[in-house]
A and B are shown apart, each in its own frame.
Chain A
Amino acid sequence: MIVTDYPFEKIRRKLAGAGLYLNIGGFVSHIRSDIDLVAEGIYQLYAGAPILDADCFADFHIALKRPTNHRRWLKPQVLFSFDDFVPFKPLPYAQAFALLEWGLNWCISTHAQQFLIIHAAAVEKSGFTAILPAPPGSGKSTLTAGLVSRGWRLLSDELTLITQAGMIQPIARPISLKNRSIEVIRDFAPDAFIGKVVTDTIKGTVAHMRAPADSVARVMEPAAPGWIIFPKFVADAPARLESAERSYAFIELAENAFNYSLQGTEGFLRLGNLIDCTEAHHFSYGNLEEAVAMFDQLARSKLNASS
């Protein structure tokens, strides 16, 4: 059963009661919350996620609730907790769903140590994955949203998980769009579902785009790495792809990894193996159509070369 097999009211009641056991990108999250914004966000943005039995094992036990102090009467807030531990300060109430998303990122990046976890998006086509590490503001999420709206499979918008076998483990979750990119994606992919727009967050204005149904359905299918691409949005610039040194790619990925140091020798070996089997590129773009066309070309070339 998936989320939308149930009426919204039932999902809301489950969340407010014993909690909802949701398979989110291969991780089972037990989520409790009586906040309607959380229930609405889950219902709309995790529409295709499988719901599991209440007695199953959960990787993360999460709650989102209103703090009980006097501030709730002045300026309502929301608090995220994991196993009753509160890792962040409360945020404004309107940011409840965004806080769930950021909290899930925190849960995965601090607990899923079986993976080498890189702060990067990952999209797949024709069996090969493009890993897109980039700092905030580089257009990574916009590019990811654009690509998955045109047939690329979403593996992740935020956390690339590298398995011991060197494959990319999908965690198809909503894509976090910020500021101008929300309108860019509305224009580029009018059929994409984009949830509530939340203003004045620490990341500016934020809205989440639902992951494509096919990506959610194929979440247990790991994909082979193909490219490491460092994207950069440059207004009005033509799409341009240039080779990058593999040693540079190694260092950049190590610096963008959450647990490279923690993994020690294993992290070095795993990252080295990843670099061995990928091409590294710098990619700048100013137009999403051109960017997608160039990625499609890259995928065709790889497919031809491998067949």
Chain B
Amino acid sequence: MQSPVSDVGLMSVPDPGVLLRHWGSAYVAYNIASGDTHQLGVLAGCIIEHLKTRAMTRTELLGKLGPDESVNSEQFFQMLDNTLSDLQNMDLITVHQA
């Protein structure tokens, strides 16, 4: 499955970075540039954790989220793209045009 988010190329957290804390499966993210704080679910939190290490494409991100069946379903792809879109709207990820 393809989505607008998946087409655009490399994703990263915006400069100068995003701070992340988590308690159990709930995350709180702080955008250093904007000063905004967001409460995130587990998938969004994991995405930010991975993108904090380096910029990644959607395919690379999928590989990091796990090789198992659960991340290989159309339902998951949809959820991932919705989450990436939400994170982009919150300015927690930046998409670099290919």
B77 within 8 A of A: no
**Residue among B24, B26, B32 with most chain A CB within 10 A:** B26
Chain A nearest CB, measured from B1 CB (Å): 30
B30 touches A247 (CB 8 A): no
Closest to B22 in A: A247
* A-B pair number, CB within 8 angstroms: 40
A275 with B23, Cβ < 8 A, contacts A247-B28, A250-B28, A251-B28 known = yes
Decide: A247 near B26, CB < 8 A? Known: A254-B37, A261-B35, A264-B35. Answer: yes
Interface size class of B (residues with CB under 8 A): 10 to 19
User: Interface on chain A toward B: helix, strand, loop, or mixed SS?
Assistant: helix
Complex CA–CA separation, A268 to B22 (angstroms)? 12
Chain B 16-61 interface residues, beta-carbon cutoff 8 Å to A: 19, 21-24, 26-28, 30, 32, 35, 37, 39
Please pick, from A245, A268, A276, the residue contacting B37 in the complex, using a CB distance under 8 A: A268
- Contacting B at CB under 8 A, from A247-300, are 247-248, 250-251, 254, 260-261, 264-265, 268-269, 272, 275-276
Residues on the A chain within 8 Å of B32, using CB: 264-265
Size range of the interface on A? 10 to 19
Is A246 an interface position by the 8 A CB rule?
yes
Smallest beta-carbon distance B74→chain A, Å: 29
- List A contacts of B19 (CB < 8 A): 265, 268-269
Residue of A nearest to B31 (CB): A268
Chain B contacts of A272 at CB under 8 A? 21, 28
Instruction: Name 16 A/B residue pairs within 8 A (Cβ), A-sorted.
Output: A245-B23, A245-B26, A246-B24, A246-B26, A247-B27, A247-B28, A248-B26, A250-B23, A250-B37, A264-B32, A265-B32, A268-B19, A268-B37, A272-B28, A275-B21, A276-B23
Q: Which residues of A contact B (CB under 8 A)?
A: 245-248, 250-251, 254, 260-261, 264-265, 268-269, 272, 275-276
| 9 closest cross-chain pairs (CB), A and B | A247-B26, A246-B23, A268-B30, A272-B21, A250-B28, A251-B39, A247-B28, A247-B39, A254-B37
